Structure 1
Amino acid sequence: MQASLLTNLLLPLALGVIMLGLGLGLTIDDFKRVARYPRAVLIGLFLQTGVLPWAAFALALLFKLPPELAVGLMLLAASPGGATANIYSHLAHGDVALNITLTAINSLLCLLTLPIILNLSLEYFLGAGQYVPPPVQKIVEVASIIVIPVALGMTIRHFATAFALRMEKPIRLLSVVVLVLLIGAAVAQSWTLLVAWFAAVGLACLLFNLVSMGTGYLAPLAIRLPKKQAIAIAMEIGIHNGTLAIFIALNVLQNAAMSVPAAIYSLLMFFTAAVFAFWASRRKGTQEPGSAPA
């Protein structure tokens, strides 16, 4: 997936506007609740760093992926969630404050975990380790797209509550429009790549996406977390920051083949997450009466 005006300027601006809109629906109390009940954060972090890399490793072996594609899948598994996960969680009526918290913590953790996972993958699949520096620049970019607009939206919510409440539905509609346009642009931009590589790695990427999202939803429910938090965790670990993985593959590893799994996954996750968000939003009572956040 090549850089373009869409990915370099228009998409970050659109995501920034949407994140501002999400901030209009959040208060400090939302984040205090997450801090008071840390189980959701801990399970999300555990699934992201302790389960998904092993799932990707197993799929790479199961499908006998070529070494470069196997490393690319591991790189994707090591990448945190991003702004798109927050948007889908918002549309599915998940706990957006939990999403933002997980994105922030995961982005910081990946400065340590991503180089470790990637170097081990290079050693195993290619037989030669390679120093991979922490992706500090891209993490700062993700933070600026997420944290600054959300903080601004929360500030507006604090001083102009009535306005913030009126904007909730328009922002939700804008989120849908942006995602539809993004899907269309991704398909058009990556069509040649998809046709050329889907047979080799497409099914592995699809299964990894379904495993990530399914585990992210079912594991929290198994330990009796509220459904809003289960939705948030499913989106957070099911929607990886494919842009970060592509950037590292192309600019750090300088290997275009390693960017293929992230490019294909980034397209597939739009559809699977949309189906999951529609299903979750149609279900009544995502937060059961009387259930306490955990």
Structure 2
Amino acid sequence: MNAVEIITLILKISIFLTALGYGLKTTAEDAFYLFRNPGLLLRSILAMNIIMPVVAILMALLFNLPPLVKVALLAISVSPLAPLFPKKTSKAGGRQGYALGLMLVASMFCILLIPVTLEILARIFKVPVEVNSKALIITALVSVIIPLISGIAAQHFAPAFADKISNPVSRIALILLIVSALPVLVKMFPAIVHLAGNGTALAIAGFVILGVCVGHFLGNTAEKDDRSVLALATASRHPAIAISVASANMPDHHLVPAAILLYLLINAIVTLPYLKWLQKNKPE
């Protein structure tokens, strides 16, 4: 194995352990919170899987964006949530059960919705759109669905064991994430800076802001915690799946990973004021 393959493997292990760590701390009741609230489930799917792809399509049609930016936005809009998402919602005081349930549901739905959405995009733009369904399913299963369900099952059948190992698993995941992500970020930083200067940063920032607004508006008005979770979820996506979808449609473009990494950085910056506002207005 070369250095790139080793770093990639470490990153995949860290993502797996991150989702497993959340599952180990989650009861089955919390995990199925979203399924007990069908209205919220439908609004969540509407915000994430219908409105945001439409936003990405409109941005691609109405603005003179580089092809890479258009493909990156469309790939981001159809991707599910990343395993790091629940940590962000906990800072906002969001309901952990909703965040985890949303991550699980989004990952399951993406297997069906991404091919359908991409077929619609192909008809709109009148160009062939590619998707590696096998790679998509494997990524969703390995990075979210399997570790999360495994952790929830462990919490249900062996709660003492799950409680004992949850924190060590989460700490190991964080260490591996830092070890694997830093070299990638350093290597891609010049490309990220290059992209930020050609309008990509502005387009991505607009996409994230609209996502936060859409999610906040469609969140359960009776539960402010749910509003913050859906707002952050609508603006957040799984980088590995976004890269997979974008790369399948621009296989010769070496800046695809840089565009998705730029999205992650901008997302963190743009959502920071929203998080600060939520913390400031959190009930005592």
Shorter-chain TM band: 0.7 to 0.9
Give the drift of 1:237: 2.0
1:145 aligns with 2:157: no
Distance 1:282 1:13 in 2: 36
Counterpart amino acid of 2:235? G
Give the drift of 1:91: 4.2
Partner of 1:10: 10
Distance 1:69 1:145 in 2: 25
Partner of 2:233: 236
Cα distance change on mapping 1:150 and 1:218 into 2, 3 Å: same
Q: For residue 197 of structure 2, give the secondary structure of its aligned residue in structure 1.
A: helix
1:79-118 → structure 2 map (5 Å cutoff): 79-118=79-118
1:145-294 → structure 2 map (5 Å cutoff): 145-158=143-156, 161=159, 184-185=182-183, 187-200=185-198, 201-220=200-219, 223-251=220-248, 253-256=250-253, 259=256, 261-273=259-271, 276-277=274-275, 280=278, 284-285=282-283
Give the drift of 1:130: 1.2
With 175-184 and 151-160 compared, the bigger mean Cα shift is at 175-184
Q: Give the number of equivalent residue pairs.
A: 280
With 242-251 and 265-274 compared, the bigger mean Cα shift is at 265-274
Q: For residue 81 of structure 2, give the secondary structure of its aligned residue in structure 1.
A: coil
Give the drift of 1:51: 0.8
Cα distance change on mapping 1:40 and 1:226 into 2, 3 Å: same
Residues 161-188 of structure 1 deviation map (CA, whole Å, 9 limit, x = unaligned)? 4665577777777777777767755542
TM-score by length of 2: 0.79
Counterpart amino acid of 2:109? L
Unaligned runs of at least 5 residues, structure 1: 287-294
Q: For residue 240 of structure 1, give the secondary structure of its aligned residue in structure 2.
A: coil
Contact 1:75–1:114, Cα closer than 8 Å, also in 2: no
Contact 1:89–1:231, Cα closer than 8 Å, also in 2: yes
Unaligned runs of at least 5 residues, structure 2: none
Contact 2:92–2:228, Cα closer than 8 Å, also in 1: yes
Q: For residue 110 of structure 1, give the secondary structure of its aligned residue in structure 2.
A: helix
Contact 1:79–1:110, Cα closer than 8 Å, also in 2: yes
Give the drift of 1:208: 0.6
Contact 1:60–1:204, Cα closer than 8 Å, also in 2: no
Give the drift of 1:63: 3.5
Give the drift of 1:97: 3.0
Give the drift of 1:253: 4.1
Residues 97-138 of structure 1 deviation map (CA, whole Å, 9 limit, x = unaligned)? 33333333333433343234334445555xx42152453323
Partner of 1:292: none
What percentage of aligned pairs have identical amino acids? 21
Give the drift of 1:209: 1.2
Counterpart amino acid of 1:114? I
Give the drift of 1:95: 2.8
Cα distance change on mapping 1:284 and 1:71 into 2, 3 Å: closer
Partner of 1:30: 30
Contact 2:73–2:204, Cα closer than 8 Å, also in 1: yes
TM-score by length of 1: 0.77
What CA RMSD, in Å, does the superposition of the two structures yield over aligned residues? 3.5
With 191-200 and 133-142 compared, the bigger mean Cα shift is at 133-142
Distance 2:180 2:273 in 1: 16
Residues 123-159 of structure 1 deviation map (CA, whole Å, 9 limit, x = unaligned)? 555xx42152453323332222223333343344345
Counterpart amino acid of 2:46? F
Give the drift of 1:17: 2.3
Distance 1:139 1:279 in 2: 37
Partner of 2:45: 45
